[in-house]
Structure 1
């Protein structure tokens, strides 16, 4: 027994029935730094290697061993001679004499300090990883091998509107945030490559709104029992790219329009002048043709003005003006046209905000929008112009008509250059309006449903 104790790699000490240390092995001396003379013959309850806060546990262990219990895997702390505290794992075994009475107890001491530190580091790393996952702006979710959602961060809920409770019992194959077609494509890609990186798909929010997003799927173990999914909402990126493309298109079209308009305006002026001179000498039968010619000249001038408006959207001046004054000016200008089509224009003002803008350009925008509303209503009806000030930073004006409305496809192309839903439209008017609004740091939005009319929303900041 003595040979087994002395040659064991683990630290061992032997206590008699009263708790006095009768023997320690070399491994114990090496671990704690106390010599055999400093330890043997002393009570374990009074040894320097026992921290005071551990005394109560040792008394409890002593009582349990005296009842004949064998104890193992007991975590505690012991101090080396140099004062370093070690995380210890104890295994306590009672030793019986030939009369079957507890004669002593043998304690095997294993240093678990390194493992404890590794475990603490692992826990800390796990906590850091959890914080990173939870605070990540991208949606992050984990699925088990059966396809069930086992964890997700707040960004998934923010992007799609579903809580974890709503999705946790739903299989990947039934999860509502991706269409069936996209699930099939993702599955085929994953089966082929075992990993997916930045696969562009179309997601669906709880409200039914569609989102462009990039999906990456990675197995988290070699046996592929758990999957990590990263979802990046790229709707803002797509919107920014669309705005950039539109700005570049506007710049190119503006330069082209300015050149064409200037080249056409001079000969047009000459043509109008000579036509007037000829008209004075023409007979009565020819008057009708001159009316048509003058109408067409006026139409060409209107197109030229729109082209120049696209070419020169910058604010020439900025003044303070009441929103109601701009709206009333536009309505007064178009009132006759509205009455002729049995259309009533109703205004609703909540407060009367004052904004800083180039009033001539903003008047042009409202004239264009209200004019479009009138032209969309062949059966008469009501146009509502509503102005509100949602906050101190900006105002919002809505122009709501009861016209034919538009399809989603028409709505998507509405501000594209040279696209028009009107038979004689140039497709430049709304493009010019959008350009003016953006240069005023505002926005122009359209909502429409076929057969139910159109709602145009104009937003402008209070200050430039």
Structure 2
């Protein structure tokens, strides 16, 4: 039989049952015990049994018989106790020592209530309780509480006041007990307290309010309980809380002022609905009145950008990014569209994860960009021409040198001829990349594509190159829906990504190609290698023209990949760590 069964048996007993420790503190009490002594179980578990025992004035406290001591076996002790309802009663305790080797435990049973003091002179009793120090509950428990606790009659006469009350009312205990509460309130012009106590005089059992003491510059939370013709008051000092609330309110007002007066749109949303938007945002979207959740993101973000937007939020929630920065096409409530730069971070709002997005309207910036673009067109053309010349000059120099050699020797050697052809192919590839860069999104009809079949074809094409470099290709796939797109352009993307991965590997490297389901009806294609990796500071620059991690790379290939994927309403993510490999992730929407 376990301890819970014993506890259940004691709890079911009709007689008061309790378990005490060596200090007389309650470890367990049943409901019958609580009913006998007039205290709740929660109150008793904070007290000792001596707390409510009353000793006579002529009783020697040093020689008093203790309620519990070692060796007691069904010892009956009769004591006068202060009942929780405010009267005295004589109670017969039956105590049994049930200690073990390590700890003292005592079983206490209330066999019967011998006498209740219903007919005693309460004026004498109250005087006795006020004047004597033997009332253990107030003296031992309440005096140790920092909050002010007083009990008064309805005529204002103090019945009890703890030590904290002396400081609050700036009077000694003798002065308090010799005066009445109403006189004190009138002398101090405390009209607020007086008005609240009228509620209790009118018959209310409980009231709670806050009061400010000017002379002490402190705030108190006052709770008053009425029981028959008595009122017990608790003055809880809340000055620190009030000070913090004031500082928090001032801080909140300052931050609110910064947000409300910001010329940029600041919004808080849960990924689906806007929870808050500042005045600049209301003006931007043409909102006259706004209530939380009234504006859905799907109503203001065009359909083509919604998948990319949700992917950015997913990156923030998973911790892969701390901040996202994207350009979306948004709609005003009147239907007009505009481009905006959205900077989003993850925050906590009202105890829940939320997103804070700052929007910058790019309409004016686009006008400025157009002016700058027109004024700098010649400069840009010159820079592009210089880049083309720089990339093509090296292979042409090689070709020219070998042709001069052939002319001089009047003989064409096959080995040199193969080098010439390689350099010309390199020139052709550079020109092709520039042409693709110039018009990557030529209008074509999208067709339905089985991405698994497409990747199997590409893996077959690159198998020869991987074998030459001693690289293993592993292909894993899930059943995913078809996608719509331009097959040639997508082939170009994945061939480019696979070649980059192969070139990044040393001997006996492995490339994993995976097709995975992705949320929001999207398809994810991963190309993962265990090669040299890319330093984090260089990842952000990938995709820029003329920037490459390869010795002879132009950087145009990856830039074209970015543009093709963007044309397919997709996303290209790059995750890499130096020395541990690189993972390229292409996310494309499904066909529907």
Q: TM-score, normalized by length of structure 2?
A: 0.37
The higher-RCO structure (CA 8 Å, 6+ apart) is 1
Q: TM-score, normalized by length of structure 1?
A: 0.46
